[in-house]
Amino acid sequence: MRSKEEIWEEGRLLLAVLVIGLFIGFLLDQLDRNRLDVIARNEASQVATDILQDLNRRINSNAIVLGRLVTAAEGFPNMNSEMFQKLGARMFEDIDATGYGSQGNQPAIMSLVMAPDLVVRHVYPLDTNSDLVGFDYRDFPNQLADAEATLAKQTPHVSHPFLSIQGPRAIAVRQRYENRNGEAEGLVSVAINLDMLLAQLGQNARQMANYRVAFTLGGFGSFGDTDVYQHDPLVIVLNTYDVAWSIAVVPADGWPTLPLVTQSRALVALIIAMLMLMVHFNVKRTLSHRRKEDRMAKAIDALSAGFVIFNNQGQLVHWNDTFTDMFGYGSILHKGMRYEDILRAGLKHGIFNAPEGMEDDWIAESVRASQSEANATEVRLANGRWIRRLSRRTQTGDLVGVRFDVTELKDAQFSAERLSNAKTEFMSILSHELRTPLTTITGFGRLLELDPPLTGDARKDAFVKDALTRMLGAGQELRRLINGLLDYVQIGVEAAPLSVKVCNLPYLVDHTISGYESILRQKGIALQVERRSDLQVLADPDRVKEIIANLFSNAVKFTEAGGRVHVSSSKGDRFARVTIADSGKGIPDDKIGTIFEEFFQVSSSGQRREGGVGMGLAIAKRLVEMHGGQIEVESTEGKGSRFTFSLPLAPVAA
């Protein structure tokens, strides 16, 4: 069940995504509008340019005809009307040939005029323009200025619009002609029906490109479809013969607008939908992750062990209450602390003890120990508590630490060590104290064996000899037990070094088992030995004989009368192996794993019929491992046991 806070958080994120998406959509919409507007206005600009170029060609064509008229007027200043009519007819034919004459596709030219001294003398065609003959520019101030401007320059001049005698609004392209002295003699002009000209241009624009057109000539007002100026037209200006022509165009159907559904709008809608879905699932994943983190944090806080995490920068990230209580940090800890800072604060508040003057060394060693992943380290607090520290690095480089209060374990360990030391010391003292009287007993026993006190009574003499034999055997067995105790103390506690040399293993085997011949004969045990004379090992000969003695004496001890013991040796790649097998009572399966423990006895009864203290196999195993070898056992209860140990071969001389 989601909380109100989680729902509100997701709602805020979705609203933010929606607002951002709408803003992006608005920007893309504006870009689409701008792009569409640029395309439309580029097209309109091309249409306007074509119209102006058409207009410029028309005026230039008239200017060319006007130049020829100037030449004729200067060559024949006193030409008569008939001559002018012929000249005008020929010129109209030339204009028609260009497609811009009164008879051509553009019938906008109204007349040709020759006006010496600003008084119209000739006009063509005369039949439609006879009223112009005698027209004096000086009588019409609105045209006098243009006429005088024409006389003042040698290039063609386009007049401002004027209302012609024929009725339509017109413009005139005028140029002066000169007398032989280079002085202005008069002017010639071509009159153009302005309304017709602009109507033709506008009609062409509508027919060819479906555009509406309006014109402005200089500062003399607008012409054409003047409603164009109400619809944000595209305006282009052309300057020709001192007159600025301004053309405004708009598409006949208005400027294009974006459809309701565009690619950008569809893309934005899709992006918004995808982002909202992503936000929804991301919020769900984040909330799920947050719940897991909360659950993990609660689980960590519930641990009975101290728990702490440092990030890969060595800064404190998280810890539980147990960690705080275990060390007694109280309010010392805060996120971002480095472990070194924690130790310094602990020293300051008396949590830790460090040798005076060596605090920095102690802190450095403690930091190193806390970051070690190899083994657990332990620290003793000032209050006497012992804390065990374990640390591991995560894949991200964070250092995770677990702390355990092992005070009770340490106390138990110290108690066990004291008991073990006391036991070892007791056994050492006991062994030495027993060896002294034993030496006396066995010494005198051997003297009596050499010169027994015989009485001549056969029965008594036999009893004396048997008593001496039993006394010496018991002394030998007691000496072996004492030596075993001393070996255990020396090997287990002092870890005495080996005196390693190249040894002949078959010799060591024969020498050791030869001491058991009398016992073998007494028990009627058959001995079989398989020897290999080439087995040279790298070992301590005394310790090897001790290994063989412990294993062989066990085999003899646990083999019943009439049984057999088999000793063999073999050679491997790196080790020599010695096997001692017997046909004794064997070892139960549940005892196999414990026979090499100290003071172990196979017999479960309290009578310990076979004797011994249960140290032989433990000592043998320890000595074999000190040589770098291994000892193994195979046994079947009721059928016998088979012990095999290995020793490293001596290197072969080159």
pLDDT (tens digit, 9 = 90+) per residue, 462-519? 887 777 777 776 776 677 667 666 666 655 544 557 889 999 999 999 988 887 887 8
Model confidence over 187-211: pLDDT tens digits? 999 988 888 888 887 777 777 678 8
Higher-confidence residue of 290 and 513: namely 513
Arithmetic mean of pLDDT, 282-304: 74
Residue of 320, 372, 396 whose CA lies nearest to 388: 372
pLDDT, position 608: 43
Residue 235, class by beta-carbon neighbours within 10 Å (0-12 exposed, 13-18 middle, 19+ buried)? middle
Same CATH topology for 307-405 and 497-648?
no
Question: Per-residue confidence at 455, pLDDT binned at 50, 70, 90?
Answer: confident
CATH superfamily of the domain spanning 497-648: Histidine kinase-like ATPase, C-terminal domain (3.30.565.10)
Q: Which residue has 């709408």 as its token pair?
A: 22
Q: Are strands 122-124 and 564-571 parallel, antiparallel or unpaired?
A: unpaired
277 near 266, Cβ under 8 Å?
A: no
Out of 2-11, 181-190, 482-491, 635-644, least confident range? 482-491
62 near 240, Cβ under 8 Å?
A: no
CA separation for the pair 59, 156 (Å, rounded): 10
529 near 466, Cβ under 8 Å?
A: no
Structure tokens at 601: 């006895």
CA separation for the pair 241, 642 (Å, rounded): 131
Q: What is the pTM of this model?
A: 0.41
CATH superfamily of the domain spanning 38-251: CHASE domain (3.30.450.350)
pLDDT of 186 > 90? The answer is yes
Residue of 384, 385, 381, 403 whose CA lies nearest to 320: 403
pLDDT of 98 > 60? The answer is no
Phi, psi of 417 (to 5 degrees): -65, -40
Residue of 53, 163, 58 whose CA lies nearest to 101: 58
Arithmetic mean of pLDDT, 535-558: 90
Phi, psi of 558 (to 5 degrees): -95, 10
Angle in degrees, CA 199, 201, 206, rounded to 5: 90
Q: Which CATH architecture fits 307-405? A: 2-Layer Sandwich (3.30)
Computed over every residue of the chain, the mean pLDDT equals 81
Domain chopping of the chain, boundaries? 38-251, 260-290, 307-405, 497-648
pLDDT, position 6: 65
Out of 94-108, 251-265, 562-576, least confident range? 94-108
Q: Helix, strand, or coil here: 216?
A: strand
Q: Helix, strand, or coil here: 350?
A: coil
Model confidence over 133-149: pLDDT tens digits? 999 999 988 888 889 98
CA separation for the pair 28, 263 (Å, rounded): 10
Residue 167 is classified by DSSP as: S
Residue of 234, 237, 236 whose CA lies nearest to 255: 234
